[in-house]
Amino acid sequence: MSAPVLAPFDRYAHWTRTPARLLLALVAVLIALAALTPITSGEGIARPPSLTGETAASGGQVRERDEDLKLYDDVIARLKRGENYYAVIAQEHRRHHYPLHPGFAVRLPTLAYAEALLPPATLIPLSVLLMGAVLFAWWRRLGPEPAGEPGAARLRLIALAALFFGVSIGTTRYFFVLHELWAGQLLALSFGLHRPGQGKWLGAWLAAAAALAIREHALPFVLLMTAFALWHRRWREGAAWAMLVVLFVAAMAAHLHVVEGLVRPEDPPSASWLTLRGLNGWLSPVILSSNMRWLPHFIAGPAVILSLLGWSGWRSAAGAFGTLLYLGYGAAFMIAGRPDNFYWGMIVAPAMWIGLAFAPMALRGLVSAAFPVQKA
């Protein structure tokens, strides 16, 4: 199958020979290293999660809850009985042997209160509705970019299929208590809704604000949105994103202050999140937090590199933003995050795979720029 012909949107087709050859060599090395890098979780080399803890009488299988999920289950159950979040979280952290300090070890109360208030039967329809909103937002965004070019319609369908592959994990009931799951879906929605050239950024702001209220790991996304708006002199939008950062910092400061007051002298501190895991630290969270976890690591690892290449090769505002976003989170995961924090990857995994749709175009443009055909 040939790659779509999208010359105006093919960044690398416009490069000169030397930088194209250097980048091509770097991509080849990264793909080889990614194929050789094992994908690990807290227990060692990770394999697709199996369902365990089955009762033979039922004829079905029930997967045992991970420790993090048990903690959040118990907190939500107590909130349903009307208890106070901060009193509950301190007790449950100690009972489940989780640290209370530094305060970042304790999640913001937003998701716990939301799931305590909502009937459990509404969470699956809500997750499907959110997934549908993400797909619709991106279907509309991918219309103008790159509309009118040969192969654009097919590329749009491939990109939506890749997006569905990423966001469909958001409907997995087993993970509903994970803050990263909902925050990641909301960030994918925010990215898809963001079309400042058409004056459409308020919906993106609201979706990102909801994500940030759930998990502070959404902050780099908001900071990058702020930087992009200011760089392009969209002062009103930039001020709105900056205001969101200020509101979040104030809310987080209040949260940390309350948590600090709950800590006892005998409470052990959290293990360091600075682990310097390198390529494994980048690939493992993204793969284990997405449907890529079902593939062998020698396929899933290179797919991450090709996805980033696709984003970087897409000559558009979305391509530039996506490149910096996913490269930034990848660099952060290489530095910070223990193996048992692999679910952090849910923050970025949902929309990241769109880049795979643009990877053939990027590779073709890079090769043609690196090895130009001499005309007779």
**How large is the average pLDDT for residues 357-373?**
91
Specify the number of domains making up the chain: 1
User: Above 80 in pLDDT, residue 65?
Assistant: no
Predicted pLDDT of residue 369: 92
- Predicted confidence at residue 50, as pLDDT, reads 41
pLDDT given at position 1: 41
235 inside domain: no
Residue span of the structural domain in which 347 resides: 12-40+271-376
* pLDDT tier at 360, thresholds 50, 70, 90: very high
Residue 306 CA: distances (Å) to CA of 98, 193, 209, 360: 37, 24, 30, 9
Digit-coded pLDDT (tens) for 68-90? 899 999 999 999 999 999 999 99
Check residue 210 and give its pLDDT: 98
Above 60 in pLDDT, residue 49?
no
Sign of CA dihedral 167, 173, 174, 178: positive
Q: Is the pLDDT confidence value at 376 over 50?
A: no
29-65 burial, b at 16+ Cβ within 10 Å, e below that, comes to ebbeebeebebbbeeeebeeeeeeeeeeeeeeeeeee
Nearest CA-CA partner of 211 in 184, 193, 237: 184
Question: What confidence tens digit (pLDDT) does each residue in 196-243 have?
Answer: 888 889 999 999 999 999 999 999 999 999 999 999 999 999 999 999
Name residues whose C-beta falls within 8 Å of residue 168's C-beta, 6 or more positions apart in sequence. Answer: 131, 291
How many other C-beta atoms lie within 10 A of the C-beta of residue 305?
25
* Residue 369 within any structural domain of the chain: yes
Q: Is residue 171 part of a domain?
A: no
Instruction: Give the span between the Cα atoms of 128 and 168, in whole angstroms.
Output: 8
Contact call for residues 49 and 293 (beta carbons, < 8 A): yes
**For residue 76, what are the contacts with CB-CB under 8 A and spacing of at least 6?**
112, 115, 116, 177
Distances (CA, A) of 13 to 103, 126, 355, 376: 48, 42, 17, 20
Question: Could you tell me the pLDDT band of residue 150, with boundaries at 50, 70 and 90?
Answer: low
In a domain, 349, yes or no: yes
Residue 149 pLDDT level (bands cut at 50, 70, 90): low
Give the residue among 159, 219, 160, 225 at the shortest CA–CA distance from 195: 225
**Nearest-angstrom CA–CA distance, 48 and 288:** 8
Q: Say whether pLDDT at 14 is over 80.
A: yes
Taking alpha carbons only, the member of 92, 3, 18 closest to residue 310 is: 3
Q: What is the average pLDDT score of the chain?
A: 89
Q: Please check whether residue 117 lies inside any domain of the structure.
A: no
Q: Helix or strand or coil: residue 49?
A: coil
pLDDT at 76: 97
246 found inside a domain: no
Judge whether 69 lies within some domain. no
pLDDT per residue over 254-301, tens digit each?
999 999 999 999 999 998 888 889 999 999 999 999 989 889 989 999
CB-based contacts of 92: which residues, under 8 Å, 6+ apart? 71, 74, 75, 78, 98
pLDDT tens for 316-349 read: 999 999 999 999 999 999 999 888 888 999 999 9
The pLDDT value given to residue 178: 95
Q: 185 or 196, which is more confident?
A: 185
Tell me, yes or no, whether 143 lies in a domain: no
